[in-house]
Each structure stands twice: as C-alpha cells, then as structure tokens.
Chain A
C-alpha cells in the first residue's frame, strides 16, 4: 500500500545578495541559464548559489516562485503543487522536491570546505556539525560539505534550526527560526 505524499519545491539556497559576487558586470537582461553561460568563471564566490535571475520564476506555471528580499528565489508553499518544472530549469540545481510536510531544512548547497564557504556567503553552511551533534535523531550528516537531513529519520523537532550559528537551517513555519524570505 503505497502512500502518495504531496511534494513541494524548496530552494536550497537563501544567499542572494548575501553571497559575495565574483564580478561587478551587469547581468541585466540575462536569465539564470544565460548568465551561467556568460560567466563561466561564475557570478558568485559560491559555486552553487542561487543566481536570483528568475528562470524558475518565469518557468513556474503557478506563479509560486518569486525573488525574495535577499535576492534569492523563494517558493510560496501555499501555491506550489510540486510539479517540478523549476527543478528542471534551474542551472544551479539548487531546487529540489521534498515531502510537503517537511518544514525544517538546511538551505545551502555550497560544496566548499568551511573556511572557503564562510567567505563566499553570509548564510553558507560551513559544515561545523553543530546541527549534527545536537540532532536527537541522528538524522543529519555532512554531504558535499554541507548539512543534509535524512527525511526518514527527521522528527522535525527543530533543534538543528535553533542551534545553527549561520542561520542555514530554516523552519518554513517560522517557529524555530525567523524566515523573512520563505
């Protein structure tokens, strides 16, 4: 008996203008895909961050994505139906579908080692492992230098979000963390 669970898209980056830019060159008129091609060296110090140029916004058939106050894409949880179009169009692969009831997630995709990640962005995961140590359910591990939660084990207690010194782990409901961008 398979239980179908409703999915929802989540942008695994909240950096936006809090990520350091590698170039001052204008991106006017470019969407994410073209910008990625135009700047092969990278637009941001972070090699994985959201470019904030709205390819996903344009692609979303439900107008469920917008560029948030910090300049990174944000999914409207009420509108999203988990169709996955945005996942396909994002050149940085920072959008993933998760179980719609999942509210607490580490929202960073940076793959650099801690010190480099720290320099790249104000809200990057530096793989300090504080969340991993405080997780009562052993649900967190470091994957590609950033925190990842195993949804099978997570009990949504919020401990990781409360303890994260970088504000990377976000509670979409805003109970454990202030989420002015989601």
Chain B
C-alpha cells in the first residue's frame, strides 16, 4: 500500500505519494521557482522556505517529514509583504545576482513574524545559514530591516523609485532585475521547463589521471526512458576551450583523463530519476595512473605529460628598464616568497543550460559571461557557422569569472541535436566545485627595492601558476598577474617572469581580480617590509610612490587625468593612522577593458519600437548590474524616463556582440557604445521635438573601440589599457584579532549608480577577506576535498563593518561619462591589507593564504 503525504503549501492543501526532498517537490511538481536549488546539501540556503513559522532549508526536509505542516514560499507571501521586500531590497541595493535572494526573503520573513523590529544582530543571526557571494550581506541586512520597518508601519514605500523617472548617471537607480529576482518570477536556466524537455548529465571520471579502457553503456541504453548516450565519437570536433581549445568534450576510449570530473559520456533521459539510474549502470573501466600533483611535479624531468605539447601551458616575460642593476644599486631590497591557494568562485547558481533545435541550428539558454564566447566555443565543437547557434542568457546567478568557459552549454547542445528535443543539462554543486576553473594557485618570489627615501627602484619577480588540467584563460590571467605585479606606482625597472603549468588538478582560469589578487598580495606585502627598513609608515611609503596623472606607470603607460590613487590614500589616511598598530593598508590597480592591443569592442543597437527604446547589447549581467548601468546611461543621454526604456538582454540572435563580462569592462566599454548610440538617438529626438512616435522603427547602432598597444610594443609609452581603476583598503583588527572594520576607498571614475557601486565594493571586500582568512581549496592527490559548506565562505554573522568609499574627481575620461570599472578591483587590496594588519599586530609575516594563526584559523 502506498503512503501519501499531505501538507499545506501557500494555503493550498497538497498531497503526494512520493517521498522526496521537499525542494524537489516544490520545484518539479508545483513549479514554485522562487525556491532555488543551490546545493541540495543544506549548505547554501537558497531553498529556504518557512515551515510552521520557522525558516527551513527545503532540500533537507522531505515530503514525508512535512506531513501536516504549513509551508510558505515567496509566492505565498501576502501582496503587502511581497511589495515591501521588492521595494526595500531594491532601494538599499540588496539584489545583485539574486540567486540567494528568495531564500534571504524567507529567512527574513520568519524573523520579522517573530520579531517585527529586529536588530542588526538579530538579522545577521537569522540569515547565517544563507550564503550570499555578491553583496557582503550588508545590503541584505539593511533590506530586511527596511522591510520590517515598512511592514510595521514605520517606513513607507515609494512606488516612484522603481518606476524610475530619475534614472540618470549618478542616480541611485532601482535595478531593473529586482522584482523578478526577489519574487522568483524571473527565470534562471534551471527555472525553465520547456514542453517535451528531457535531461542530460555526464558520467565523469573519479580519477584525475587514468586511461579509459572501456565504456559500456549497453545496460543504460536498454533502460526505458533513456534516449541516448553520447561519447567522443558523437562530437564533430571533440575540443572546447575559451581561448585555447585543449579541453576534450569527452575523454575517448583509449585516452587519458586530466582531472577529476572529466566527462566520459553524456546520458540523455526523459526524467532526472531515470538519468541518475542510467548513469549508475554505465560501466567505465579505467587504468589509474600517477597524477601530476603540483607545479613542481609538472616541471620535473620525465614528468607525465598532461597535454602532449608539454606541461608548460603559458609563459610571459614582462620587462622594462634594468631591474637587475636598479636592485643592485638600491639602498634597501626585500626578497620574499608567497603562496596563494586555488579559490572556488562558489557563485550561488550552479551551471545550467537548456538547449533545443532552433531554425536551421540550435538555441541554448545559458548562465554565462558572454553569449558570443559560448557561441564560438560551440561552433568550433560542431564545425558550424556560428550564426546557426543562438545563445541567450537567462538570469545569471553569479559568475566572478567562473562562467567564462563552457561547462554544460555545449553538452546540452549536443544532446538536443542528438534527440531533437529540448534538453536541460546542469551540474550538481559538487560537480561544479570539482572541475569548473578556479582562481590559479600561485607560488611567487618577489624582490622589490627602494632608495633611502622609500622611493621604489625596481622589481624582479617570478610567478608560477598551477593552471590545472586545462588552459582555460591561463594566458591572459598570467599576463595580468605579471603586468599588475608592479602595483599602482611609478618606478621604471621591472623584470617579471610568469609561468603557468598544467597539472592534474582542477583547471584554473578567470576569477575576479584575474591574476592580480595573487601578485598584488605579494607586492603589497613586500612594500610593508621596505617601509619598515626605511623607517616610514606603510601609508607613507605608498603615498610617496603613488601614481598620479601625467606620471609613468611601470609598464610605460602615462597615467591619465582621471587617476585618483592618491585621493583614495588620503581618504583612509586618518583612520589608518589612528589604528596603525592593528591595521593594515594596501593599494591596487586594475585595468578596465581587455586592452593590450586586442580588438576589445563595445557595441549597442537601439531600436524605437512601440513608443519605447529597446537596447540591444550582448553584454552579460552576471549580477554586477551592467543591464541597469546601460539604461542609466541611455536615460542620461536621451532624457527619457526608465519606463520608456527596455534592455533586451544578452541574446546573440538580436543583440550585437559586446564582448565578455570580464576585465571590469562592461561599464566603460559597452557603456560608451550605449552613450554613442543614445547620442545619435537624442539628435534625432531633438529634430522631432522629442516625440518618440515619430522615430518609430528607427535603429541606432554604435561601436566603441579605443585602440591599445600590445604587450612589449616598441613605443616609448605603450598604452596597455583604456583605463585603470585604483583603490586603497584598510583592514582594522579588534583585540581578539578579528577583523572589525574595513575601509575601502575606490577610484572608479564617475560613479554611475552609487548604491550599486557600494554593493560591488562590499561584496568584493568580503570575498577578499575570505581569500585572506578563511577560504581554501584542499586537494588530495588532485582530488578536491571541499564541499560547498566547507569552502570557508564567510557567513552573515562573521562580517566586519565594511565602509565603501568612492572618490570622484572632476577630471574624467571622455568615455561613458567618465565611468571606469569596479567589478574586480574591489577584491584585490583586501588580502594584503589584512596581512598587513596581522603583521602590525604581532609582527609575524604571513606569506601564505589563507593566513594561518589568526582568529579565523587557529594555529594547528
């Protein structure tokens, strides 16, 4: 006799005969998509719902255990509650990628019901089981507090804010995606359930390095509901890769795996249950081989070759002046080695894609950082004209660089073409952790010299990156690590050698900071040691060397008029000096735009349609908010209110290629293209007296390209990048050695959205603190040991007070109203500043991240 389980969901009595995680029931059976699946392990909190008044993770509870209970999701909140959350979260800027938000809303709802006037501490405690990787929690805490105030009648919501009559550059504009993300009504890929959709998932290697002897899928193929099993033989060109195509789609029989999680074959089945069963009966026989565990093993003579061309994946030599002589003649010289770990992006939304046959080719809904990049990788794999492949972003639940490579998009496409149906392909959280590209592990030795006044003379350094099994973005990331290892100063003798080695570890690629987190940690730590030798403060040595407009950066580029590093230093001077025996300071610079001579173009098309202006630009909004920034620039230029503007999203079929969301480039590069197109529209508007109806059907296209010089260009002052952002962070410890406060001062040029930039800074700082103090990615013989809950991601009850400061100069660059990027730099100076704070406190030089022997990681 089958049992049945009855409970109430959002006021409706429901009965099911299936005993399964409540999360699956709510999503798969009731299609309540506000309930997100971020890990299915109880770790992330994205599936938080309210059960009998208590915030509960629905992946933990089962339908059987839910019998008789009263269950509430965001969809079941009252109209007043929904509106209060939408307004409050939008007003304070609590929403970035949004994937954690419905869970935060429900944790907040349970708290407010019990305590209508919660304190900051109460809120931090209530959401401590909910991870947010974007915001640093501060604005979510403010959002819940404001919601509570509205619901108890102390504050009122103002509908005009979301309507957006005031939506220009510099305004605290309400993001375009708040409502869909707060209420769960906007779709991420996993929220798509297309008619006839089936599911695909890969059988993956448990071994980092093993020869695949045989693949026997006969039992799986005989199972009812199994539609296909694809292997390397089914792929026209069995390679993908963002830049270098060195990544096997499937490891073919007879070939050797390169890391844990390498795909062996792809199973397509009618439903997820059958899919899991089918995967289990596929027999893959392996001959395990000794893996290459680290850089040293990769470099060793007679090391096994991870790729046939050798284990050295990429190298760079960046040099200018004569570092050797300069260092030999320096009054003070410091040489020190540093180690930084692999870091997991831990974006809240695991990789997911849905593909289906479309026109004369295929279309795929994706969660990635560049639809044209994904299109290119798939076109190479299929050997097709790229135009036959359409890629469109749904909401992207965080990326941070980790969604630049294809992960599931190409697999969904292969499956959809094979079975001629829509196919969803997603990674489990553990799969995502195990093999999507990480931040590179680094070992580096840095020698920095200065004169008797602390003026830097030269830098010599050698940087070794472990790029794991595949190149991913090793080349450019290593290059940025090298070019930025000099810091935002103005000395002219550098000799920087960088090497990226293949190993059998998980691949490493792009991660917010793009190599610079590693090299600037080392450089900034050395600077403190030099300051000590000279006898001046860490602040003073930085100020004496700081780049300023008209001076020459170590790469030869002349700092432009907008350069405001000194202003950021001055912004934190007092607070640093007042706390200097337990505070650390660090500076950073980060390019905005890809630069180095590459054709880095921003494109935008505006179309006047049905009395509105539609903005077409394939620039992925991965949570940072560029979709809103573009509309603000459009509104600023045309004077049109938000209600007449519509961002049509990143869709390769209709929107022009505006490059990857990478290199902190979208605000400046695409933003300027938007401004250019908008200026053309504005001109026409002025001619017709501002009557949009008279321009119906007209289109305006603009392409922005500001040439740069390639690395090593033979010119006296090569211009490597269109712009640089600058920052200074100060980390202050309390008596226990816990981080009490962080002051983060940033020069990002003109601030387009003050609320958004604060959120970017706060989230970046917390990510930087995690890098410094808590986050690690342990490997045992190349096998990842971490799960989502043990990555060391900071929780809401661990956060310090983060003060986001931006300095705005009058002199600005002539692009995008003077805006420069913020995305990456916010996370760069935090780790060296934290290191400096501990050094100031106990005089122990911690050269390895995450730092040992701190409040967060006690001495073993």
Contacts and interface: CB of A to CB of B under 8 A. Distances in A.
A137 B62 contact: no
B790 interface: yes
A176 B51 CA distance: 10
A176 B43 contact: no
Contact of B60 (A101, A138, A157): A157
A176 B60 CA distance: 8
A136 B42 contact: yes
B133 to A, nearest CB: 16
B724 interface: no
A179 interface: no
Contacts of A157: 42-43, 57, 60, 129
Interface string B45-66: 1000001101011001110010
Contacts of A158: 42, 56-57, 60-61
A3 B56 CA distance: 25
Interface string A129-166: 00000111110000000000000000111110010000
9 contacts: A137-B790, A138-B790, A157-B60, A158-B42, A159-B60, A175-B52, A175-B54, A175-B65, A176-B60
Interface in B774-810: 787-790, 795
A162 to B, nearest CB: 6
B69 interface: yes
A138 B61 CA distance: 19
A3 B121 contact: yes
A156 B129 contact: yes
A138 B789 contact: yes
A159 B45 CA distance: 12
Contact of B41 (A101, A159, A176): A159
B264 interface: no
Q: Which of A101, A138, A155, A173 has the most CB of B within 10 A?
A: A155
B846 interface: no
Interface residues of B, number: 24
Contacts of A176: 56, 60-61, 65
Interface string A114-138: 0000000000000000000011111
Contacts of A159: 41-42, 57, 60
A135 B790 CA distance: 10
Given A137-B789, A175-B54, A177-B65, 6 more contacts: A134-B42, A136-B39, A136-B41, A159-B41, A175-B61, A175-B69
A175 B121 contact: no
Question: Taking chain A's interface residues, is the majority helix, strand, or loop, or is none over half, making it mixed?
Answer: loop
B43 A162 contact: no
Contacts of B57: 157-159
Contacts of B27: none
Q: Which 8 A-B pairs have the closest CB atoms?
A: A136-B789, A136-B43, A157-B42, A155-B129, A159-B42, A137-B789, A136-B42, A136-B41
Q: Could you say which interface size class chain A belongs to?
A: 10 to 19
Q: Which of A137, A157, A173 has the most CB of B within 10 A?
A: A157
Contacts of B65: 162, 175-177
A175 B55 CA distance: 10
B61 A173 contact: no
Contacts of B129: 155-157
Nearest to B787: A136
Nearest to A139: B789
Contacts of B51: 175
Q: Which of A136, A155, A159, A177 has the most CB of B within 10 A?
A: A136
Contacts of A101: 125
Nearest to A103: B54
Contacts of B787: 136
A176 B21 CA distance: 12
B128 interface: yes
Interface of B: 39, 41-43, 45, 51-52, 54, 56-57, 60-62, 65, 69, 121, 125, 128-129, 787-790, 795
Interface of A: 3, 101, 134-138, 155-159, 162, 173, 175-177
A85 B349 CA distance: 48
Contacts of A135: 789
Q: Which of A3, A159, A175 has the most CB of B within 10 A?
A: A175
Given A101-B125, A137-B43, A162 B789 contact: no
Nearest to B128: A155
Contacts of A138: 789-790
Q: Which of B51, B61, B69, B795 has the most CB of A within 10 A?
A: B61
A176 B54 CA distance: 11
Contacts of B62: 162
A166 B419 CA distance: 46
Nearest to A158: B60
B118 to A, nearest CB: 13
Contact of A175 (B41, B43, B45, B56): B56
A101 B41 CA distance: 22
A173 B125 CA distance: 17
Contacts of A134: 41-42
A156 B790 CA distance: 15
Nearest to A156: B129
B60 A173 contact: no
Contact of B788 (A136, A156, A177): A136
Contact of B54 (A3, A136, A162, A173): A173
B790 A155 contact: no
A54 B56 CA distance: 34
Given A135-B789, A175-B52, A162 B60 contact: yes
A137 B44 CA distance: 10
A156 B107 CA distance: 13
Nearest to B40: A136
A173 B65 CA distance: 13
A7 B577 CA distance: 41
Nearest to B786: A138
A68 to B, nearest CB: 21
A131 to B, nearest CB: 12
Contacts of A177: 65
Nearest to B39: A136
Contacts of B121: 3
